[in-house]
A = this chain, B = another copy of it.
Amino acid sequence: METRTAIKGAHMNATANIEIRNGKPSDHQSIVSVMPDWWGGRDLSSSVLKIFFIHFADTTYVAEIGDDLIGFLVGFLSQSDKDVGYIHFMGVHPEYRRAGVGRRLYQRFYDGCAANDRPIVKSCTSPINKLSIAFHLRMGFEIEPGDGIVDGVPVTMDFLRANDPKVLFRKELRKK
């Protein structure tokens, strides 16, 4: 007899039906149109350039249930550091958070990194984004030392622009 543990969240039972596929150029418009909703009104869509979906489609992923977009990850293989895969942006539909969608998107990116001999994954987030910091720590990322501290967390002050501290994450996918 099969028993099923009750899981919190309106859509948890649907997560078994999540399909993850590579991104394509036509995904860009769908993604930027939901971003303000997914980020609580902040419009960060200018960072999610369509060129990622054209020229970095092989390390960019979309999570769907049927035809509904529930998550995406934009990543690339660093040209400057041949050991590094970089996660530029990841987002999950608010109603599907804490259901493992982000974990599955990251794991697909790890697979892409492994297939391209990239043993190190890097990412960053704002120190205000406590959920993202907790997510990266659960996923086994280390926080890089940086040159400042915000709310007790090491940050790099000018990483993506002047006076905009970021928490830098690093994870080794396999030990050599």
Contacts and interface: CB of A to CB of B under 8 A. Distances in A.
A61 interface: no
A47 B50 CA distance: 10
By Cβ-Cβ distance, the 10 closest A-B pairs, closest first, are: A55-B78, A46-B46, A57-B80, A50-B160, A56-B79, A55-B80, A58-B79, A29-B162, A55-B86, A58-B80
Classify the interface of chain A: helix, strand, loop or mixed.
Answer: mixed
Contact of A47 (B29, B49, B160): B49
Counting every copy of the chain, the complex holds 2
A47 B48 CA distance: 9
Chain A, interface size category, equals 20 to 34
A157 to B, nearest CB: 12
A104 interface: no
